[in-house]
Amino acid sequence: MAYSAEKAAAFAYQGHAGSIKLEVDKAAIHQIELDEWGHRHEVLTIMQQYGIPVSKYYEVRFHLIGKVISGSCYVIGWFMPFYFAGRLESGNVCEYFRMMHYFHELGITEHDQVLYNMGIKEKEHEVYFLGRIKNKKLLPFFERIFNWGARKSFNDVDLDTKYPVETSEAYCKN
């Protein structure tokens, strides 16, 4: 599912970048899109190593979801794409650390660095999107409804005091 969901995210960021005016934001969101394509490649590499097939169902489902979100960015205004991108990225952080936990349960540590890098990159994305909306009047309202924002996150990663890869299994235990 992670493989296909990365495609949906990348498609969504294409629409997000296309729908905004500031070139600096367009460039940042385009880089985030490229990061998501890179994550998709890394997940596929791991899947291939273990003979895990790509789900056609998830590929179609997330292709459509990504395209719908991409198109909606042109009609829902400026705030919501930034908000929901940040919220999504916040949850994605732990997906990669949980993958690491599952591999560790099997005694596999060879993917730790790539999973760590992807989890940290997702946190950087979350921080970027939150930074763009943290002073907006709508944020407290959305935070109350959707349970993410300036005071709430779906992960426990702090970029200012990151654990090294060797002890990063401590992330996302809850």
Q: Residue 54 carries which DSSP code?
A: P
Q: What is the mean pLDDT of the chain?
A: 95
For range 66-72, the mean pLDDT: 95
Residue that finishes a domain, picked among 76, 91, 117: 76
Domain that holds residue 60: 1-76
One domain, residues 92 and 165: yes
Residue that finishes a domain, picked among 44, 76, 108: 76
Quote the CA–CA distance of 81 and 12 in Å, as a whole number.
9
For range 49-53, the mean pLDDT: 97
One domain, residues 70 and 96: no
Do 39 and 13 touch, CB atoms closer than 8 A?
no
Q: Residue 78 carries which DSSP code?
A: S
**Number of domains the chain contains:** 2
One domain, residues 131 and 164: yes
For range 62-79, the mean pLDDT: 95
* Confidence at residue 87, expressed as pLDDT on a 0 to 100 scale: 95
Quote the CA–CA distance of 101 and 168 in Å, as a whole number.
10
- The alpha carbon of 131 is separated from its chain's Cα centroid by a whole number of angstroms, namely 15
pLDDT band at 131 (very low <50, low <70, confident <90, very high): very high
For range 106-128, the mean pLDDT: 97
One domain, residues 112 and 71: no
* Confidence at residue 173, expressed as pLDDT on a 0 to 100 scale: 85
Quote the CA–CA distance of 144 and 1 in Å, as a whole number.
28
For range 115-142, the mean pLDDT: 97
* Confidence at residue 174, expressed as pLDDT on a 0 to 100 scale: 76
Angle ∠(40,129,57) on CA atoms, nearest 5: 30
One domain, residues 72 and 85: no
- The model's pTM is 0.93
Residue that finishes a domain, picked among 53, 76, 99: 76
One domain, residues 72 and 110: no
One domain, residues 159 and 97: yes
One domain, residues 54 and 137: no
One domain, residues 68 and 90: no
What pLDDT, in 10s, does the model give residues 80-113? Answer: 999 999 999 999 999 999 999 999 999 999 999 9
For range 132-152, the mean pLDDT: 96
One domain, residues 107 and 62: no
Do 69 and 131 touch, CB atoms closer than 8 A?
no
Quote the CA–CA distance of 141 and 143 in Å, as a whole number.
5
One domain, residues 99 and 174: yes
pLDDT score of 141 more than 90: yes
